[in-house]
Amino acid sequence: MKMNITGKNIEITSAIRAHIEEKFKKLEKWQVDIIGCNASFQEEPNKNKKFEAVLNVPKGQLVASAVNADLYTAINEVEQKLERQLNKLRHKPEARRASHAEVPAEPEQPVIEEEEVY
């Protein structure tokens, strides 16, 4: 998976880069083809850190962002959000098959006609 990590108003240290790469390696367990990842973080004027990640997958993009005073907590929140989205994407075809499965028709009860005796 190709990763682009950018920072605005904040320096990208090797520890931050390693933490991001470690978290995003966990996303590969969902067995969804991840083409690439763009991760960006910035420090906002109120000293909060905003972390945003965009995963490119064959069916589109998955986007998640989080704002927190601690950058590592924001990274963890984004990873959890992306994990939920990948889980949903992975199991969506199974859910469709289950909801559109044919309901077995009830066997018809044989109609017994009684002869009327006069």
Give me the CATH number covering residue 43.
Answer: 3.30.160.100
- Report yes or no on 39 lying in a domain: yes
Average pLDDT over residues 74-89: 94
Checking 72-78 for CB contacts under 8 A at 24+ apart, the result is 72/19, 74/41, 74/49, 74/50, 75/19, 75/20, 75/23, 75/51, 76/23, 77/51, 78/51, 78/52, 78/53
The per-residue pLDDT for range 3-52, each reduced to its tens digit, is 999 999 999 999 999 999 999 999 888 888 889 999 999 999 999 999 99
Question: Is 56 among the domain residues?
Answer: yes
pLDDT of residue 110: 67
pLDDT tens per residue, range 90-111: 887 776 777 766 655 566 666 6
Q: pLDDT tens digits, residue range 2-14?
A: 899 999 999 999 9
Is 10 within a domain?
yes
> Residue 64's pLDDT is what?
97
Number of domains in the chain: 1
Instruction: Reply yes or no on whether the pLDDT at 70 is more than 90.
Output: yes
Non-local CB neighbours of 56 within 8 Å, separated by 6+ positions: 34, 35, 36, 37, 38
Q: Report yes or no on 31 lying in a domain.
A: yes
Q: Is residue 104 in a domain? A: no
Q: Residue 62: give the domain boundaries.
A: 2-95
User: What pTM was estimated for this model as a whole?
Assistant: 0.76
Q: Is residue 105 part of a domain?
A: no
Phi, psi of 6 (to 5 degrees): -125, 150
Residue 112 within a domain: no
Residue 57 lies in a domain: yes
